[in-house]
Amino acid sequence: MIRKPQSFTTTDIEYIQHGNDKLVMRLYRPKSQIPSPIIVDLHGGAWNTGDLSDCQTRDEVFVKSGFAVAALNFRHGTNGYPKSLQDINFAIRWLKKNARELSLDPKRVALSGQSSGGHLAALTAMRPNDVRYAEIKINSKIVLDATVACAALQWPVINPLSRYHHALRSLSDPKTASWVGSIPDFHKIFWQNENAMAEGNPMLALERGEKVETPPMCWLQGEPDIVHDYHDPKSDGNINEPERFARYYRNAGGKFEIIRVKQSVRSQPESFESLVTFYKKYLT
C-alpha cells in the first residue's frame, strides 16, 4: 500500500536531443527507499503551445500520494504528427531502462495528459508498439516497449477531427464563437490535413475496429465545457464525446470511467485527488 510521503524531490533531466533541441522531463520523486510507480504526464496546448510546467499542480498531488511523475516536454507545433508520439513513446522506454538508478518501478508505469495531452496519452496507451511511434531506437540489453498499466485523461481532445469541425461550426454562431480562438489554425499546423486528424484519432480507431491495447482509463471532465464535452452530429446517437468514447472503449474490452466535476474546480488539487484513487487501484 502506498504511503503518503511528507516530501519529494524535483529534478530536470534531458532525455533526448534532436539536433540542437534538448528535450527535458521534470521528474518528481517521493523520498522513499522503495522504487516508486511512475506516471508520465503530458501537457496540453492544442498540440502547439504549453510545456511541462503546466503539469505542476496535478504532479505535486500525485507525488505527495507516493507516485513518481515525469512531466515531459516533447516536439509539437510545426514538428507535426507523429513527432510528439515518438518522443513520448521513447520517454516511456527511457524511464523503464533507467528505472533502477532513478528508484522507479518499471513494471508500474502509467500515463496522464490534459486536453491535447490527453489525446496523446490515450493514443500512446492504445498504440504502444506502433512502428511509427516507436521509431526512435534505444540502446538496451533487454527488449523495452511503451506499454502502460493505465491512463488518466483530463478533458482530452479525444477526437481531433470532430473537435476541428466543432470549432468551425462554433465560429458561425456569435453565442459560441468566443472559445474558438486559434484552435482551427493549431489543428492545421500540427495535423496538416483532415486525413491525419482521422488516422491519429483514438475515437475513430475504435470506431474502425482497429486492434489496440486497452489498459484501464479514466476521463476527468469539468462541466459545463463546450471545448471538450460536446456532441458530434456525425456520430450515431445523442451522446457527447466522453460517453461515446467510453462506450467504444468498453466494447473493445477496456475498463473506463468518467469523473465529472464543476468546471470552476477542474484544475484544482481536490479534483486531481480522484485520479490518485484511480492510480492506486491499478498501480499498487
| pLDDT per residue as tens digits for the range 32-51 | 889 999 999 999 999 999 99
**Structural domain tally of the chain?**
1
- 157, three cell numbers: 481532445
pTM: 0.96
- 81, three cell numbers: 504528427
Is residue 190 situated within a structural domain?
no
Q: Which residues contact 254 (CB under 8 A, 6 or more apart)?
A: 214, 215, 216, 217
Q: How high is the pLDDT of residue 143?
A: 87
Is residue 278 situated within a structural domain?
yes
Is residue 151 situated within a structural domain?
yes
148 CB burial (10 A radius; 0-12, 13-18, 19+) = buried
Is residue 14 situated within a structural domain?
yes
The candidate with the shortest Cα–Cα distance to 15, out of 6, 27, 32, 4, is: 27
The residue range of the domain holding 97 is: 8-160+201-283
Q: How high is the pLDDT of residue 1?
A: 44
- The 10s digit of each residue's pLDDT in 166-191 is 999 999 999 999 999 999 999 999 99
Is residue 175 situated within a structural domain?
no
* Helix 269-283 vs helix 56-64: crossing angle, to nearest 10: 50
Nearest 5°: phi and psi at 8?
-150, 165
- Please list the alpha-helical segments (H only) found in 72-159: 83-97, 99-102, 116-126
Is residue 53 situated within a structural domain?
yes
Residue pair 110/218 in contact by the 8 Å Cβ criterion: no
Is residue 232 situated within a structural domain?
yes
- The 10s digit of each residue's pLDDT in 145-163 is 999 999 999 999 999 999 9
Is residue 41 situated within a structural domain?
yes
Percentage of the chain lying above the pLDDT 70 cut: 98
Provide the CATH number for the domain around residue 243.
Answer: 3.40.50.1820
